[in-house]
Amino acid sequence: MYYCNNNSLIYKSRSETVKIEPWGKNALRVRVTYNAGFTGDDHALDKVQSEAQIDIGEEFASIANGKICCKLSKSGWLEFFKDGKPILKEYSRDSRGANGHSPSMKFSARELKPVSGSGYSITMRFEADKSEKIFGMGQYQQPNLNLKGCILELAQRNSQISIPFYLSSKGYGFLWNNEGIGEVVFGTNYTQWNAKLSDEADYWITADDTPKAIIENYTSVTGRAPEFPDNALGLWQSKLRYRTQEEVLEIAREYHRRGIPLDVIVIDFFHWIRQGDWSFDPEYWPDPKAMVEELRRMGTRCMVSIWPTVDKKSVNYPEMAERGLLVRTERGSVQCFDFQGDTVIYDATNPEAREFIWQRSYENYYKNGIDMFWLDEAEPEYSAYDFDNYRYYDGAALKISNRYPKEHARAYYEGMKAQGQTDIVNLIRCAWVGSQKYAALVWSGDIRSTFEALRDQVSAGLNISLAGIPWWVSDTGGFFGNIEDENFNELMIRWFQFSAFCPVLRMHGDRGPHNIPAFTDLDFGGGFSDTGQPNELWSFGEETYKILKKYLFIRLDMKDYIKGLMNEASKNGSPVIRTMFYEFPEDERCWELDDQYMFGSKYLIAPVLYQGMTEREVYLPGGEWKNIHDGEIYSGARTIKAAAPIDIIPVYERLK
């Protein structure tokens, strides 16, 4: 049976209860349980008041909120409409809801299978439209911008970010409102979502006229990025790794001497004695406060790397273990990660643990003037991604693990905000739905220095932007690279050109060959870990330096424009880098393009993504476009062949 209850449409049959309610503009939330009641957990969603129109009939009931409507049959299956046109419906091949198909397969649209003593394994199925295009879902290291036909693991890994929201070419957005490990299959026969362990099924759907309106609806219920600081819009300098205070200062002084503005310099991992100390090794960093003060006089902010790992020999391990502030294992030894230490991971789902790590960071970094944090390993990274072996304060990792990076970002954002800081931006390697509201600048992880990886980053950056994360960056040049590779400089130039037209421009990488000796033979302390080759703008020869410097100053000349894009992201959730269809949804060609994008609404960027390429095709939508390099004006609605010698990335300014 179905009935109306407190602005919601309820369906009950046997042990199943379905609840459909308005949630934000042109949006509905759907929950399904086999328990006596719903948990009351909103997961990724903020509380939003909306009014629904509910109609109850003999054979069907419906609930509408603006442009979206859900029709519920007497047998219990659901279908969604936008302005009266069908956009999504459940896939069912059983006796209750075969939708005109044979019921013999006994496929139900909604399956909640008990997992002994702990919850349900949940499967949800929807009919597929072969012509539909799917975008978003976070960041996956593959070249497909359109995810139709893809199988995606719903789990966090180094360089993989699961944010289970997609935008459809049919005019709707869909959020799988579940924090747990699972999988989605965007098949051509049906779409299937799975959560390995959960208490109830939960999803949210919105419909609107344009991708921009859909993203605005989505971010209105999951959060938007705060204002991006002006003093971080330029160049960020990083490498693996600056090992001493004096080395950091020498690099910053050289930028200053060359007249190159440097907004941020980054101190990478193992500047500490042991993982989990969250402090400098004083042998190599004797006076961090003086270091930060000198950097500030040169106009440079300082960021330090924070790992969530706690070595069992760390000064903080005994207290954290005693207070239950660490991730637990269900079996075997108490260990999560074994990279250069026997470590356990702090539990970001525990409010006390978040307060603990912030207080240590405050005492050892923030009070010395360091007001930016690089939250590395934030998935968190495990030696083995055996999610069934880990348990958090809030529950089993299988059930909640995907929101860990969001809680980690929250620890630092709330701590810094409590100190009155307003120019907050923290670099982090992973994210979940809503991470953007905690000033999270997401980077794409430890990726290879190859043109194949560069192509992946274009799709990765555009899709994570459509999943609500407007602040995104990659390691310019890739992370794993060797400067003695004969093609490395070409790759660095092409990647830097791309990065110049991304939300943030950041140099980073582990540059081989690894022939620089450590400072000590000890297996701990700030001098034992290795370091990579130089990674500054001038490190790759004079010709490469001239090109990198050219594009840095092109970016700096656009600083007011970029600031405007950041403000727009804060206001309505719009990405900084945008798929072509985001700006031109009526142009069918723009829904097919995966190797060019818009930098805001004004600039079309066509990165060079293949080794040896010196020209490429560029599609110009309708209107007039100006080549920023030579000033030539082109009429749009056509494909042109653009020259792309090594010092040129094709960029066109939209005139009208």
Q: How many C-beta atoms surround the C-beta of residue 283 within 10 A?
A: 13
Burial 36-63 (b: 16+ CB within 10 A, else e): eeeeeeebbbeeeebebebeeeeeebbb
> So what's the pLDDT on residue 100?
60
Closest CA to 582 of 434, 222, 573, 443: 573
Q: Does residue 104 surpass a pLDDT of 70?
A: no
Mean pLDDT of 243-271: 98
Rounded to whole angstroms, what are the CA distances from 304 to 110, 445, 604?
46, 17, 34
H runs (alpha helix) in 389-511: 397-400, 404-418, 451-466, 488-500
> What does DSSP assign to residue 372?
E
Which three-class secondary structure string do you get for 507-527?
A: ECCEEECCCCCCCCCCCCCCC
**What would the mean pLDDT of 401-407 be, rounded to a whole number?**
98
Work out the pLDDT band at 147, boundaries 50, 70, 90.
very high
Residue of 90, 216, 446, 510 marked catalytic: 446
Q: What confidence score (pLDDT) does residue 102 get?
A: 61
Which of the residue ranges 90-104, 256-270, 583-597 would you say has the lowest mean pLDDT?
90-104
Q: What is the pLDDT of residue 70?
A: 98
- Kindly indicate whether the domain formed by 230-567 is annotated with CATH number 2.60.40.420: no
Amino acid at 545: Y
Q: What is Dmax (Cα atoms) for the chain? A: 80
Helix then strand then coil, % of the chain, to nearest 5 = 25, 30, 45
pLDDT at 98 over 60: no
CA separation for the pair 453, 448 (Å, rounded): 6
Quick: pLDDT tens for 156-194. 999 999 999 999 999 999 999 999 999 999 999 999 999
- The tens digit of pLDDT for each residue in 481-522 reads 999 999 999 999 999 999 999 999 999 999 999 999 999 988
Given pLDDT bands bounded at 50, 70 and 90, which one contains residue 105? low
The torsion region of residue 14 among left (phi > 0), alpha (psi -120 to 50) and beta comes to left
Cα angle 607, 613, 615 (rounded to 5 degrees) comes to 75
Please check the confidence at residue 75 and state whether its pLDDT lies above 60: yes
In the set 347, 376, 407, 595, the catalytic residue is 376
Strand partners, 73: 60
CATH fold match for the domains 2-207 and 577-654: yes
Task: Answer for the pair 223, 437: CB distance below 8 angstroms, yes or no.
Answer: yes
Q: How much is the average pLDDT of 251-280?
A: 98
pTM, whole model, 2 decimals?
0.97
Question: Phi, psi (5° rounding) for residue 292?
Answer: -65, -40
> Can you give the residue ranges of every domain in the chain?
2-207, 230-567, 577-654
Can you give the pLDDT at residue 96?
A: 62
pLDDT per residue over 214-224, tens digit each? 999 999 999 99
Torsion of CA 547, 550, 555, 558, to 10 degrees: -150
Residue 66: the pLDDT is: 98
User: Per the residue annotation, which of 79, 208, 311, 379 is the catalytic one?
Assistant: 379
Render the burial of 162-187: b for 16+ CB within 10 Å, e for the rest. Answer: bbbbbbbbbbbbbbbbbbbbbbbbbb
| The CA-based dihedral angle spanning residues 390, 395, 400, 404, taken in that order and rounded to the nearest 10 degrees | -70
Q: What is the pLDDT of residue 656?
A: 78
Angle ∠(297,298,300) on CA atoms, nearest 5? 100
Specify the pLDDT at position 77. Answer: 92
pLDDT on residue 1: 87
Q: What is the pLDDT of residue 103?
A: 64
Q: What is the pLDDT of residues 17-26, one digit of tens each?
A: 999 999 999 9
Question: Residues 111-115: what's their mean pLDDT?
Answer: 88
Q: Which CATH number applies to 2-207: 2.40.50.140, 3.20.20.100, 2.60.120.620, 2.60.40.1760?
A: 2.60.40.1760
Active site residue 376: yes
pLDDT at position 99 is: 57
pLDDT in tens, 331-354: 998 999 999 899 999 999 999 999
Contact 215, 575 (CB under 8 A): yes
Mean per-residue pLDDT for 606-619?
A: 98
- The residue type of 284 is Y
Taking 80 as the threshold, does the pLDDT of residue 97 lie above it?
no
Instruction: Quote the percentage of the chain above a pLDDT of 70.
Output: 98
Buried b (16+ CB within 10 A) or exposed e, 309-320: bbbbebbbbeeb
CATH number, domain 577-654, options 1.10.10.10, 1.10.3470.10, 2.60.40.1180, 3.50.30.10: 2.60.40.1180
Residue 317 has pLDDT above 60, yes or no: yes
Distances (CA, A) of 42 to 112, 164, 216, 400, 413: 19, 15, 19, 13, 21
pLDDT range class, residue 101, cuts 50, 70, 90: low
**What's the confidence (pLDDT) of residue 79?**
98
Per DSSP, helices labelled H in 316-466 are 317-323, 351-364, 397-400, 404-418, 451-466
Per-residue model confidence as pLDDT tens digits over 624-639: 999 999 999 999 999 9
Average pLDDT (472-480) is: 98
| 423-455 tens-digit pLDDT | 999 999 999 999 999 999 999 999 999 999 999
| 3-class SS of residue 143 | coil
